[in-house]
Amino acid sequence: MGQEFDRRERGGANSLSAEFIKAAVEQYRTNQLQCTADHLGVKDAHSIWFDLPKLKKFIADIENLAGSSDSSVTDADLGIRMYYAAYPENCEDADIKKEYHKCHTLIMIPTKKDSSSGQTIHRDFNPLESTDERRLALATVNAMAQNHGSLAPPDNCDGESY
């Protein structure tokens, strides 16, 4: 497959070789996506699109809320964990398209570096909460999270290259 990580400098921008991307996408479609179709009978999505303003706002909200609750937090302490998830078949309480039911999705959760145990752990945390115990435990009704990208299919697949 060659060198998957492109070492050429592009002003510090991250990159992967197109060959690696194609191989990884094909591996997913041949295995996980096909298994979902064969064993669960679900015609699942193969990509999720998020608009840049939504992602930028989510990141800015994490930075602002984390910083306002703990002034010692730095950008290097923060991150985002992406959970693979599937929409429940019955989501009456959520604004989810019926075509998305049972399809996979990503749910993004803020993380905060914690070295209190002597090792560095990137813990899920909720900057909407006011106390450290509740922020790190996520023992709350609503957790700061991002979801609601555009699943393809059922949404339009035009523009995809891989």
Cα 127 from Cα 64, distance rounded (Å) = 9
Is the pLDDT score of 160 beyond 80?
yes
Tens of pLDDT along 93-114?
A: 667 888 888 888 999 999 999 8
Phi, psi of 58 (to 5 degrees): -60, -45
Q: Is the dihedral of CA 56, 57, 61, 67 positive or negative?
A: positive
The pLDDT value recorded for residue 73 is 87
- Judge whether residue 55 has pLDDT over 90: yes
73: closest CA among 117, 107, 110, 119?
A: 110
